[in-house]
A and B are shown apart, each in its own frame.
Chain A
């Protein structure tokens, strides 16, 4: 059985301040190098699940293990650092700090993750290499993030997620802001990078058409239950 990068078991989470609302995820795992598409409508608890995986919120019970570490056992600060070390995050849009240069944005996670920084070696050179591999013009590195098109910004976000090769990439609807052609091109680039580096990818989307490119497609309603208090 291949090594698991992400392993969730019996996680339960109650939203604070909203009595009766709770999310339970009995089991979810992602193997090393595996790409998983998680389909779910809005309101299905996707965002909460991602927050649980990333450790910005803690489950009330159960375990979230990333790279064989139970994140709920870590202190708040250690969890933040652990996230920087182990997970590359790509948002739907507005991924970049608009006032920072592309290079600043790509190198940002390394600032909080010394081990990942070491893995990256010459960080600036690797950032440039990633940009080249993602089809960004060479001189983009120095430009301000705000000057880029949305498609370019998303590619910079991929470069940022990939730098220093974290074992897991979490992508939250990264293609929803792109048109169909760009979506395909974007996924091509993303997959070419994750396969090269044997990086696991967990992508969340509401679009089932993307499914064919992934190793595995799971539906939110199959793995998680949301309980609502009786009205």
Chain B
């Protein structure tokens, strides 16, 4: 009966209570939304590369290697010689190996030289393979496959010629050997979307007339001559490796790290991703803290609402007292009321979150490659809601205690 009267009392003050509940709902939706984006971003991040057991590159830091080989951020300090690559490739525990050669760019996008094995072995988001949405995988020396963002940003379609620039953000373009777009990849939400992929030989081909980073003056080898040349690279930037059996991963990693001929580094992508996430995690925590503050603000707003309602409800409390309610009953009624508001707010926030997710999911996926799964509320989210209700109860103690003191002082006679 008390609960029913409390709810009836809340309904009687529908406008202010509604505003308070809405504020709590929005703050909870924001908090849970940030949490969703955070876990989604983390998952998307981890989904950038899957199915690869080791990444091999010149010895540097594991995060650095991961950044330049997978995320195309930063540069390699050194290369891996073709001989070392061959050595690793020929090991019996290596099931497959995909060489990657970076260093050139097209407009703002990086060019990556690799083999067709890349399309077979590079996996993202729990083992999904790359797929061509238009055209085909390159089969000519001057063919290129471009990521979805490259095609969308530069307006390329299959058959368009493109010119590759040497180095990054450079004005010296390899004008002699224009490439042709042979295929456009489907959107993946990974850095592949922003990559121009050519064959490993093509990277060699465009550097035929170049020495020490500059074109040899007056020298220009025609394309059909280049086609006749031996275009085996002398070095690559990194390699993706798959092992025969997962058990061999660590042995292979150690073998590569202790390789005598050249200082190399082999990393487990998952471990390096964790390491990287550890760095990014600070911003994530800050974001979470800010949204938690918003929840606290909403609860304090509720406290203010209860406070301001106390005076107009003195008579109501006096009636309760006259009917035999103890001051403690008055206190618990106010706390109960706050808990009802917080609970309704939290649940409404949950609904807002899910409706928002439902609307935003496809947009976020296509715009940012951020896939937010719509799951049943996790245990963590249930805890968040319980925490909000408890915090609401605690916060309401302040006005409730004031009401307690008022009802002791007033008794059943309101002095007006």
B-binding residues in A (CB < 8 A): 47, 50-51, 54, 56-57, 76-77, 80-81, 83-85, 89, 91, 94-100, 104, 107-109, 111-113, 160
Q: Tell whether, in the assembled complex, residue A91 and residue B324 are in contact, meaning their CB atoms are under 8 Å apart.
A: no
Give the docked Cα–Cα distance between A109 and B324 (Å). 6
When the two chains form their complex, are residues B413 and A112 in contact, meaning their CB atoms are under 8 A apart?
no
B1 with A107: CB separation less than 8 A: yes
Residues of chain B lying within 8 A (CB to CB) of residue A91? 319, 322, 412
- Contacting pair A89 B322 (CB below 8 A): yes
Within 8 Å CB of B8, what residues of A? 97, 99-100, 104
B191 to chain A, nearest CB (A): 60
| Separation of A80 and B323 alpha carbons in the complex (Å) | 8
Q: How far is the CB of B393 from chain A (nearest CB, A)?
A: 22
* Chain A interface mostly: helix
Q: Which of B4, B5, B11, B325 contacts A112 (CB 8 A)?
A: B325
Which of B11, B320, B325, B411 is in CB contact (< 8 Å) with A51? B411
Closest to B9 in A: A99
Pairwise interchain contact A85-B324, C-beta atoms closer than 8 A: yes
B316 at the interface (CB under 8 A from A): yes
Given contacts A94-B315, A97-B316, A99-B9, contact A51 B412 (CB under 8 A): yes
Residues of B within 8 A of A54 (CB): 322, 411-412
Residues B412 and A111 in contact, CB atoms below 8 Å apart: no
Could you tell me if B321 and A57 are in contact, using CB atoms closer than 8 angstroms? Answer: no
- A57 CA / B413 CA spacing, docked (Å): 11
Residue of B4, B316, B323 ringed by the most chain A CB atoms within 10 A: B323
For the complex formed, measure the closest distance between the CB of B144 and the CB atoms of chain A, giving whole angstroms.
72
How distant is B337 from chain A, measured CB to nearest CB, in Å? 12
Can you report 15 A-B residue pairs in the complex whose CB atoms are below 8 A from each other? A56-B412, A77-B326, A89-B322, A89-B323, A91-B319, A91-B412, A97-B5, A97-B9, A97-B316, A98-B12, A104-B1, A109-B324, A111-B2, A112-B323, A112-B325
Contacts of A111 on B, CB cut-off 8 Å? 1-2, 323-324
B5 and A99 within 8 A (CB): yes
* A83 in contact with B12 (CB, 8 Å): no
Chain B nearest CB from A64 CB (Å) reads 14
Would you call A97 and B319 a contact (CB within 8 A)? yes
Cβ-defined contact, A47 with B413, below 8 A: yes
Chain A residues with Cβ under 8 A from B323's Cβ?
A: 84, 89, 108-109, 111-112, 160
Chain B residues 299 to 330 lying within 8 A of chain A, measured CB to CB, are 315-316, 319-329
Q: Is the CB of B4 within 8 A of A104?
A: yes
A83 touches B324 (CB 8 A): yes
Inter-chain contact B326/A104, CB cutoff 8 Å: no
Which of chain B's residues have a CB closer than 8 A to the CB of A56?
321, 411-413
CA distance in complex: A91, B412 (Å) = 9
CB-nearest residue of chain B to A16: B409
13 new A-B contacts, CB < 8 A, other than A81-B324, A84-B323, A97-B8, are: A50-B413, A54-B322, A54-B412, A56-B411, A56-B413, A84-B325, A94-B315, A99-B9, A109-B323, A111-B323, A112-B325, A112-B326, A113-B324
Chain B residue, CB-CB nearest to A76: B326
Among A47, A80, A104, the residue within 8 A (CB) of B324 is A80
* B 1-32 binary contact with A (CB < 8 Å = 1; else 0): 11011001101100000000000000000000
B-side contacts of A80, CB under 8 Å: 321, 324-327
* CA gap between A177 and B55 in the complex, in Å: 88
Nearest chain-A residue to B5 (Cβ)? Answer: A100
Chain B positions 362-416 with a Cβ under 8 Å from a chain A Cβ:
411-413
Q: How far does the alpha carbon of A160 sit from the alpha carbon of B325 in the complex, in Å?
A: 15
Q: Which residues of A are found within 8 Å of B12, using beta-carbon distances?
A: 98-99
A83-B324, A84-B324 are contacts. A104–B412 as well, Cβ < 8 Å? no
Contact yes or no, B321 A96, CB < 8 A: no
